[in-house]
Amino acid sequence: MGIEEELLLLAEDGSPAPRAQAVLESAAEADGPLENEFMEEQLETATPPTRSLAELAEAIRAGRSGAREAAARHNARVAAVATSPVAHRGTTVSRLRYLRARSEFGLTAWEQLTNGCHVHVGVADDVEGVAVLDRIGPWLAPLLAISANSPFWLARATGYESFRSQVWARWPTAGPTRMFGTPEAYHAAVAALVATSTVLDEAMVYFDARLSARYPTVEIRVADVCLDPDTATLVAGLARGLVETVAREAASGVPLPDAPVELLRTSHWRAGRSGLVGDLVDPRTWRPAPAHDVIGALLTYTRDALADAGDLDTVTELLGALWARGNGAARQRTWAADAGGDLHAVALRAADALLSEPALG
């Protein structure tokens, strides 16, 4: 498994800083793999593939540390927030593909200063990958709720735990998908979307979970970038446990879940709206249930796979720590209250939390 994180570049006052190109041009080998994203105010990090959750946790911290060091050379800071608390005018990276997207998609592209967390989990082949995609959908919304880290948009409290998920949903291919059944059907669906000329290319097929075009993995794209490394590790551990659980069910002939796309979309919206502080849609019943119960059900559902990977104790402890401190959205709201509504202060506190001390020894 591996993880990609999109991070926000900040000026000294906490406002988004369009310095990505300069940061990347001067980045050192010790900074690790850093890449552009859509906006000049973003950097992306990526971990190498790992089998151990402990190794992944170290790699997440190393990637964030490298991004921080590279940004510091240009008087910038780095924060893992999924939207900027401070009002901004995003600056599109000057690459042909990105400029075409800005021209084609208008306000959707102009306002796309959002940061996600993408978890890659290895699969044997496309057959197993599609079997996973066909079964994983009901449990993706709880991962969004755990990661929710974007309560502010354009200097306003949104009433959402993950407003990034609302902004991201504007893209024509974003969101949950139907069941495909076979790799051929999956690839035909992707080709049909590209053939509409509504999206630029296959890379703009933004399903909540998809087969990676570059790696032999399922790529789970539903999460906000997480405020601290522990939450990112938790999301990755649960994602791997979920992929392994549904892959085993597919291999054992367990019937596909009854998961209509309209219910998947609604449960995703609910998770972005209320995160961990209200009800979620319970994938077992498609009825509302307290977030604590739904997240507990996810842990129970993936328990055997987590135990077999040696991840159960770590995931359980990280989840307990999350309940104690709150997710990124909760902490950002608390910081805003502490600062009397000063959202620049919220952004700077998020930068301070980039490499916060681990909850586990």
Given a cut of 60, is residue 361 above it in pLDDT? no
Strand partners, 114: 83
3-state SS of 162-206 is EHHHHHHCCCCCCECCCCCCCHHHHHHHHHHHHHCCCCCCHHHCC
Q: Whole-angstrom Cα distance, residue 128 to residue 125? A: 6
Q: Dihedral sign, CA of 192, 195, 199, 202? A: positive
pLDDT of residue 356: 82
Give CA separation, 200 vs 15, 106, 175, 196, 209, in Å.
Answer: 31, 14, 17, 10, 19
Mean pLDDT of 85-99: 93
pTM of the model: 0.97
Given a cut of 80, is residue 253 above it in pLDDT? yes
The two tokens of residue 174 are: 């974003």
Query: Contact, 111 vs 168, CB < 8 A?
Result: no
Mean pLDDT of 258-269: 97
Residue type at position 145:
A
Mean pLDDT of 264-269: 98
The two tokens of residue 298 are: 């996810």
Q: Whole-angstrom Cα distance, residue 221 to residue 146? A: 14
Q: Whole-angstrom Cα distance, residue 228 to residue 302? A: 23
Q: Dihedral sign, CA of 121, 202, 214, 82? A: negative
Mean pLDDT of 285-302: 98
In this prediction, residue 360 has a pLDDT band, given cuts at 50, 70 and 90, of low
Q: What is the dihedral of CA 271, 55, 8, 107, to 10 degrees?
A: -50
150's CB contacts (< 8 A; 6+ apart) are: 81, 82, 83, 114, 158, 160, 161, 162, 163, 164, 165, 224, 328, 329
Report the candidate in 311, 333, 316 with the shortest Cα–Cα distance to residue 57.
Answer: 311
pLDDT of residue 359: 65
List, for residues 26-84, the tens digit of each pLDDT value: 998 888 899 999 999 999 999 999 999 999 999 999 999 999 999 999 999 999 999 99
The full set of domains in the chain, from first to last, is 2-352 (3.30.590.20)
Which of 74-78, 85-89, 124-128, 317-321 shows the lowest mean pLDDT across its residues?
85-89
Residue 244 burial (C-beta neighbours within 10 Å; 0-12, 13-18, 19+): buried
Give the number of other Cβ atoms within 10 Å of residue 149's Cβ.
30
The two tokens of residue 268 are: 């995703």
Higher pLDDT, 147 or 360: 147
**HSE-up of residue 203 (Cα within 13 Å, Cβ side):** 7
List, for residues 166-184, the tens digit of each pLDDT value: 999 999 999 999 999 999 9
Residue whose token pair is 């310095």: 19
Given a cut of 80, is residue 139 above it in pLDDT? yes
Q: Specify the DSSP element, H or E, that contains 328.
A: helix 328-338
Query: Contact, 208 vs 220, CB < 8 A?
Result: yes
Given a cut of 60, is residue 303 above it in pLDDT? yes
